[in-house]
Structure 1
Amino acid sequence: MTQLKRIDGLDGVRAFAVMLVFISHVYIGIPILLGQTWYRVFTRGGYLGVNGFFVMSGFLITYRLLGTAHQDGRFRWRQFYAHRAVRLFPGMFLVLAAHFVYAMIFDYPPLGVVADEWTMVRSTIFQYANWTIYKHPLLLIDNVSLWSLSIEGQFYVLWPAVAYVIFQKTKKPIFGLLILATGITLLIFHRAFVFNDLGWYAAYLRSDTRVESLLLGAIGGFLWLKTDYIKAQFVRVMSIPATICVILTVCYSSADGSYIWRGGMTLFDASVLVIVLALAAGVYPGRKLLMAGPVDWVGRISYGLYLWQIPIFRIIDRHGTTLSSGMRSVLAIGGCFGVSTLSWYALERPVMKSRWAKQLAGG
């Protein structure tokens, strides 16, 4: 494949990924769910929704970088970083600003309001929130989801230069792939050692234990765009066991268990990548489901939904103690989807389509 095109169904994958995270956190606003066996089973692997985003990000970043450089061999650095900034910053800044106002009005947390809010803003803007949360777990409790954006941000800074050297400057990119494959293998063992020595929380938040998901997606992006190694029929067949693997891992692999940190996460990531490749080839058996209207819509607002869910759940938990479970459910679910939809249609999409955004990218 040599031409860039929109991959139908990816918004559907985003929808399922964000709903895994959303449902696993909704108990914060609706505590009664913790008493339901089905809820505890289904949400055991909700944290893996973030892995889905990591794999897709690695794939799409590499796909776009190499795709735009295909005709004349030049990387569009400005275009890449402008696109990332325009896509990510407006929604993120809105959440940070809204929470700052909330913290000032309600004096939350009771001690160190300004200091804590500034720490959150600074660590998010400069892309090290995951390390801040790792060292101070309660400091950013209302915006803990921002940790994953920092890991992606760190990857966005470093990966384009690495990809340029490996895929554009080397005469035989296969050597670069071998280096990356070796690096991923070492990272898998490293993650297991971190889990053994420091526990699951460290393995969950550290950049060096989570970058493997992004790198795996990046390799998939290169293989799909620049080689003939990926065969449509092969990924179609493999996407079926891959889907089964994703479902079973989500249902049976908890974040504090050893399996996921000793190879299970890599198997999950590889399965997600196979599904993405099958969608890119247009042969995924579940493609129509992923492209269905409601699923596609959730995928489009998934970024806002991911950003707003925990702040809204925490606020409901903090101020809605006298409300019935039904009312808390309406506020938690309706509030998240309502604010996320408003963010998408009133802020995120208009900014992306604005003349200013095109000028920033050099278009």
Structure 2
Amino acid sequence: MEMSAAVPSTTTVRPEIQALRAIAVAAVVLHHGWPAVAPAGYIGVDVFFVVSGYLITALLLREVDRTGRISLGSFYRRRARRILPAAMVVLLAVSAATLAFAPYRDWAAYFREIVASAFYVENWRLAVDSQQPAFADLESTPVQHFWSLSVEEQFYLLWPLLIIAALWLVHRRGAPLRRTLAIVLGAVTAVSFAWSLLLTVDDHNLAYFSTFARGWEFGVGGLLALLAAAIPRLTADRWHAGRSVVSWAGLAMIVVPIVTFDDTEAFPGLWVLLPVAGTLAIIWAGAPGTRWSTARAAGLRPVQWVGDVSYSLYLWHWPIFMFTPMITGVPSPPALMVVLVGLSLVVAALSKRFVEDPFRRRGGAVGSHPRVLAGALAVALAGVLTMGSVAPGIAADELVCQGQGRSPRD
């Protein structure tokens, strides 16, 4: 089973991928803070999807190259270390902030989405709500952005199984490994893309939140990882200038729609091809061992730093934006939004340093003991579920008491 030539390395930091993460999270933050500046900043999520598909597939294929198989237990433990601790801390913080600052009338809606986010089904919660008149307007909650994390987690659960199915076919029928993987992963990706187009026409909300309609974005990233050996052979050193053009074109395909596109009912549809193709172009053009003119900008320390904290920044910025008006009692003006972005960056850096890194690294008391991770996550989940089950009832009693003109403690 020869895969080494087809699998890009993921063991070192890829500056262009860190830059893509920085662009993606910056787009989302701009959209949430200044929607007039980045009306389609939600496109940053699509960039994240493609990057995740590329990196995870490369990781899995390298394991196949080394061992001839995929260890689901090891893969899921790595993903849990990377994703769950910071997410659970945010959900606990949002739960506490909801009790402390949110109006009673919002408690039930907030906690139903907090619980959905804790189980990584927030995208389906919003998809179902979009079909019900009582919830169809999808009013914002502090954890609404967890929909994309839910899609990503579901991808992590299903994608390795597809690769394992392809490996089974290889062993059973003696088919070429790379070709079998390309057929299996390509077929699933194509079906998902077709479903996305059809569903966008019928119901753009369902298409936006559906894992099945979004899965192809991860899939094309995965296919790029699989085909990485064939693509460089098409370009020798004399094509460096061509790669530079491709990288700049890719950047334009991401940035231009972010600041100009405003037809939400047509998205994802065909429009999502722009950021997806742009992301693929930048990953390809910035492959290790090549030179491209945007490398200097991508390699700037602030860009790399934002890419490094992008996950925590994505998690924390929206709750900070949402709860600030509740705390201050007034809407956040544009000048204050600048301060909130700065605060979000600080909190993200702290989260990266004290939550993400200790769990992700295998050294130390936390990283070397899976039971510590499991125990911490169990405690966090129990806290979220406890508040989620008790708080709505308390809120209902409070509202009844207010309606009767008496104190809830009378």
- TM-score when normalising by structure 1: 0.85
CA distance in 2, matches of 1:144, 1:50: 13
1:252 corresponding residue in structure 2: 260
After superposition, the Cα gap between the structure-2 partners of 1:118 and 1:91, relative to the gap in structure 1 and judged at 3 Å, is same
Correspondence list, 1:207-246, <5 A: 207-224=211-228, 227-231=229-233, 233=239, 235-246=243-254
After superposition, the Cα gap between the structure-2 partners of 1:273 and 1:206, relative to the gap in structure 1 and judged at 3 Å, is same
Q: Deviation of residue 88 (structure 1)? A: 0.7
**3-state secondary structure, aligned to 2:270:** helix
Amino acid paired to 2:353: Y
* Structure number, greater radius of gyration: 2
Correspondence list, 1:33-182, <5 A: 40=36, 42-106=37-101, 108-111=102-105, 113=107, 115-116=108-109, 118-136=111-129, 138=138, 141-166=141-166, 169-170=169-170, 171-172=175-176, 173-182=178-187
Q: Deviation of residue 218 (structure 1)? A: 1.0
Deviates more, 1:227-236 or 1:55-64: 227-236
Deviations 1:198-224 (A, max 9, x none): 2x3222112122111111111111112
**3-state secondary structure, aligned to 1:229:** helix
Please say if residues 97 and 323 of structure 2, whose CA atoms lie closer than 8 Å, have aligned partners that are also in contact: no
After superposition, the Cα gap between the structure-2 partners of 1:256 and 1:140, relative to the gap in structure 1 and judged at 3 Å, is closer
Amino acid paired to 1:99: V
CA distance in 2, matches of 1:74, 1:203: 34
Amino acid paired to 1:249: P
**3-state secondary structure, aligned to 2:66:** coil
**3-state secondary structure, aligned to 2:18:** helix
**3-state secondary structure, aligned to 1:18:** helix
Deviations 1:167-203 (A, max 9, x none): 57422232442343343333333222222222x3222
Deviates more, 1:234-243 or 1:149-158: 234-243
Unaligned runs of 5+ in 1: 28-38
CA distance in 2, matches of 1:122, 1:167: 36
Deviations 1:113-157 (A, max 9, x none): 3x5455334322322110112233547611111000000011101
2:377 corresponding residue in structure 1: none
Amino acid paired to 1:61: I
Please say if residues 15 and 299 of structure 1, whose CA atoms lie closer than 8 Å, have aligned partners that are also in contact: yes
Structure having greater relative contact order (Cα 8 Å, sep ≥ 6): 1
CA distance in 1, matches of 2:71, 2:148: 25
CA distance in 2, matches of 1:255, 1:85: 36
Deviations 1:316-343 (A, max 9, x none): 2233345883762354222211211111
Give me the CA root mean square deviation. 2.6
- How many residues in Structure 1 have an aligned counterpart in Structure 2? 343
Unaligned runs of 5+ in 2: 130-134, 372-410
Correspondence list, 1:227-306, <5 A: 227-231=229-233, 233=239, 235-258=243-266, 260-281=267-288, 282-306=290-314
After superposition, the Cα gap between the structure-2 partners of 1:230 and 1:126, relative to the gap in structure 1 and judged at 3 Å, is farther
After superposition, the Cα gap between the structure-2 partners of 1:124 and 1:196, relative to the gap in structure 1 and judged at 3 Å, is same
CA distance in 2, matches of 1:112, 1:250: 31
- Is 1:13 matched with 2:14? no
After superposition, the Cα gap between the structure-2 partners of 1:241 and 1:139, relative to the gap in structure 1 and judged at 3 Å, is closer
**3-state secondary structure, aligned to 1:111:** helix
CA distance in 2, matches of 1:56, 1:3: 13
Please say if residues 134 and 202 of structure 1, whose CA atoms lie closer than 8 Å, have aligned partners that are also in contact: yes
After superposition, the Cα gap between the structure-2 partners of 1:51 and 1:220, relative to the gap in structure 1 and judged at 3 Å, is same
